[in-house]
Amino acid sequence: MTAVLPQQRTLTYAEAVREALAQAMEADERVFLLGEDIGTYGGAFGVTGDLVHRFGERRVRDTPISELGIVGAAVGAALAGMRPVVEIQFSDFTAQAMDQIVNQAAKIHFMLGGAASVPMVLRAPGGSGTGAAAQHSQSLEAWFAHVPGLKVVMPSTAADAKGLLLAAIDDPNPVIVLEHKLLYKQSGPVPEEATRVRLGETAVRRSGGDVTIVATGVMVSRALEAAGQLAAEGIEASVLDPRTLRPLDAAPIVDSVTATGRALLVQEAPQTGGFMAEVAAAIVESSAFGHLRAPVARLCGLDVPIPYAPQLERAAVPQTGDIVRRARELVTTW
């Protein structure tokens, strides 16, 4: 008997996000959107598009440039029974809103002894590659992952952009969804139904026996591209995508590294204090330690602000060729 696959068609990552927002708003009157230029303008990256025409200005609510106020309003609305979804135009601007994210949203459920919760979602595009320079290109996931009370999601495919967002909107906790600007125009198969992708489940994107590559965000597609090139040389890589950074589903990573004995951890963010250090710790603190054939390796962005000039910008974050070289080195040296 053939399993019936859910109906899929090809959507861009941005369209997938928009479809999740629309389906969530159709299904639940409590869901509404808040953000800068998300209405008639359609969002700085075109993500909300025509939603204001479908759901009206009250539920697709343009805000002044007041990130702290916007996130605070979402916290208050969530406390009062709504399901707000905030768009912060560039993830860099969350720095303006950190009090409401870190001191309020993340802690209220705990501080109040469980008497209240803050079911809100904050979507924000991160990452470099658009020539937008240091204040519009950061990868700040480690900031949020460090805060108990927040959940942190980084979708790397169109299907996950939809499914993880729907799961985030369902979640009774504040969820930070870090989308990637370079992925917005990438296409992929996306279910038509409002199919959830559970938070906290690492995806195995490719299986290979020589090295485990763990990557997040736009680095997932670069890792897959690198794995293809490595295969031509006879090196088989597994590529794992945590998708949810907090809570991290470490078991598939541990299992894969146990099998391959080699781990290459790839992130766009600067290395120091980055999330892949947490993944490295999860590996070496686990039973996979005894199976390691090589030191755990990280390939990260340089510890510099993202520069403007295209050649400098490329040099500041891992490229496919860098992943190929580092993986090859791990496999051939050890």
Confirm whether 180 is a catalytic residue: no
Q: Whose Cβ is closer to other proteins: residue 14's or residue 106's?
A: 106
**Contact region with other proteins (CB under 8 A), list: 18-26, 98-106, 237-245, 295-303:** 98-106
> Quick check: helix, strand or coil at residue 101?
helix
Residues shown for the chain? 334
Cβ pair 197, 159 in contact under 8 A: yes
Question: Rule CB under 8 A: is residue 72 a binding residue for other proteins?
Answer: yes
Q: How far is the CB of 243 from other proteins (least distance, A)?
A: 18
From the list 246, 320, 256, the residue with the least C-alpha distance to 291 is 256
Q: How far is the CB of 111 from other proteins (least distance, A)?
A: 4
d(CA 127, CA 192): 28
Q: Decide: is 68 part of the binding site for other proteins (CB under 8 A).
A: yes
- Closest to 82 in 3D by CA, of 63, 61, 51, 52: 61
Q: Which of residues 6-65 bind other proteins (CB under 8 A)?
A: 32, 58-59, 63-64
Residues in 145-164 that interact with other proteins by CB under 8 A: 148-149, 151
Q: How far is the CB of 174 from other proteins (least distance, A)?
A: 10
Question: Can you tell me the distance from the alpha carbon of 27 to that of 55, in angstroms, rounded to the nearest whole number?
Answer: 12
Q: Does 227 bind other proteins (CB under 8 A)?
A: no
Which residue, 247 or 310, has its beta carbon nearer to other proteins?
247
Name which position in 9, 10, 26, 66 contacts other proteins (CB under 8 A). Answer: 66
CB of 137 or CB of 173, closer to other proteins:
173
Among 22, 24, 70, 331, binds other proteins (CB under 8 A): 70
With beta carbons less than 8 A apart as the criterion, state whether 69 and 36 touch: no
Binding span for other proteins by CB under 8 A among 79-87, 226-234, 278-286, 301-309 = 79-87
Residue range at the interface with other proteins (CB under 8 A); choices 9-17, 104-112, 283-291, 326-334: 104-112
In angstroms, the Cα distances linking 313 to 90, 145, 260, 307, 332 are: 17, 25, 32, 5, 29
179 among known catalytic residues: no
Q: Could you say which of 6, 131, 172, 321 contacts other proteins (CB under 8 A)?
A: 172
Q: Give the count of residues interacting with other proteins (CB under 8 A).
A: 44
Query: Which of the residues 136, 141, 278, 313 is marked catalytic?
Result: 136
Cα separation, 312 vs 268, whole angstroms: 14
CB of 226 vs other proteins, minimal distance in Å:
35
Q: Establish if 89 lies at the interface with other proteins (CB under 8 A).
A: no
Residues 6+ apart with CB under 8 A from 179: 13, 17, 47, 123, 124, 125, 126, 155, 161
Q: Which of 15, 36, 67, 268 is catalytic?
A: 67
CA 304 to CA 58: how far, in whole Å? 41
Q: Of residues 22, 51, 78, 121, which one binds other proteins by CB under 8 A? A: 78
The reply to whether 108 sits near other proteins by the rule CB under 8 A is: yes
Q: Does 127 bind other proteins (CB under 8 A)?
A: no
Burial (Cβ within 10 Å: 0-12, 13-18, ≥19) of residue 86: buried
Element (H, E) at 275: helix 275-284
Instruction: Give CB contacts under 8 A, 24+ apart, made by 61-64.
Output: 61/32, 61/33, 61/34, 61/35, 62/35, 62/36, 62/37, 62/38, 63/34, 63/35, 63/36, 64/36
Catalytic residue positions, numbered: 67, 136
> Interface with other proteins by CB under 8 A: which residues?
32, 58-59, 63-64, 66, 68-82, 84, 99-100, 103-104, 108-119, 148-149, 151, 171-173
